[in-house]
Each structure stands twice: as C-alpha cells, then as structure tokens.
C-alpha cells in the first residue's frame, strides 16, 4: 500500500483517491488488489444487486480481480477521459502508474475504457477531453 494515497469526497463520483505527495510520470503507484476470480464469477457479481458497487477489474477474457472485499485504495480511482494514471496488466497483476507528473492533492484517475453497454452512463470527469459517457462506443467501434 502506498501510504501517500488517501480517500476523500470527489467531484467525479462520491469518493476518489488522492495523493498527498508529488508523483513523477511513469512512477508505479500501486497494484489493484482483490480476489482473482473467473469470468463467470465476475459476471455473477457484477449483476448482484445486493452489492453496493462493482469493483471487478478484468485481466482478460477469463479472469478478473474483484476489489469489493479485499481491495485497496486503487478501487477508488475514478474514471476520467483525460486521466492522471494508466494501468498495465502483467500476468495476474494490474499495476497503476502515473501518466504524467501529478501534483500533491490531485485526484488520481484512470481511463477504464468501459465496454459499450445497453445503457449509456454520463461521465462526470469534467476534463476538456471528456467523451460524455463512461461507456460510449469508441471511434473505431
Ligand atoms: Zn469524461
């Protein structure tokens, strides 16, 4: 766990993850922690209305990491269309890095690139690059 990360209310979506120190570009910030689960289990959990949120992060077509119970600060990274961070999948690990220099006090965000789904969800990231929806089909779709 990176001790300089903290959770507080966010303009994007209820709560977000912020940094209380400067982070330089391409610095490894944290690993997305949680339970390694199968695709079937991930889909079952995503449709479970008794859960208060979805924290499944897909590694590939067969597995996902679910941060719902065992997650760390990374599960609070909100989506932004112009994010401060990016992720890389390395085997069964998802690693979050700084996409640019990040100043003390800034919110940490990721472009989750959600699949286009039946219902469009409005994006509140507020960036100049905002695509308008969390799950809008990309230009190549
Ligand atoms: Zn946006």
From first to last of its 141 residues, the chain has per-residue pLDDT tens of 579 999 999 999 889 999 999 999 999 999 999 999 999 999 999 999 999 888 999 999 999 999 999 999 999 999 999 999 999 999 999 999 999 999 999 999 999 877 766 678 889 999 999 999 888 755 444
CA 112 – CA 80 distance, rounded (Å): 8
User: Total structural domains in the chain?
Assistant: 1
137 in any annotated domain: no
Q: Is residue 126 part of a domain?
A: no
In a domain, residue 22? The reply is yes
For residue 102, being part of any structural domain is answered with yes
Report CA dihedral (76, 59, 99, 10) to the nearest 10 degrees. Answer: -10
- Flag whether 17 is in a domain: yes
Q: What is the CATH number of the domain that holds 49?
A: 2.170.270.10
Ligand 1 centre from 30 Cα, in Å? Answer: 23
0.85 exceeded by pTM: yes
- Alpha carbon separation from 6 to 44, 55, 116, 135 (Å, rounded): 30, 18, 30, 27
Neighbours of 12 (CB within 10 A): 18
Phi/psi of residue 85, nearest 5 degrees: -135, 165
Residue 56 lies in a domain: yes
Residues with CB under 5 A from ligand 1 (ion): 81, 123, 125, 130
Distance 103 CA to ligand 1 centre (A): 20
Give residue 85 CA to ligand 1 midpoint distance, Å: 14
Domain containing residue 56: 5-110
């Amino acid at each position: 766990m990176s001790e300089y990360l903290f959770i507080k209310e966010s303009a994007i979506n209820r709560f977000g993850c912020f940094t209380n120190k400067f982070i330089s570009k391409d610095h490894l910030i944290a690993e997305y922690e949680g339970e390694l689960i199968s695709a079937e289990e991930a889909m079952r959990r995503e449709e479970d209305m008794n859960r208060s949120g979805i924290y499944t992060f897909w590694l590939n077509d067969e597995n996902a990491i679910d941060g719902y119970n065992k997650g760390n600060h990374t599960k609070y990274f909100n989506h932004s269309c112009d994010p401060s961070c990016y992720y890389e999948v390395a085997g069964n690990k998802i690693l979050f890095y700084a996409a640019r220099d990040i100043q003390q006090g800034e919110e940490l965000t990721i472009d989750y690139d959600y699949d286009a789904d039946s219902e469009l969800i409005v994006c509140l990231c507020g960036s100049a690059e905002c695509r308008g929806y969390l799950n809008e089909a990309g230009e190549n779709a």
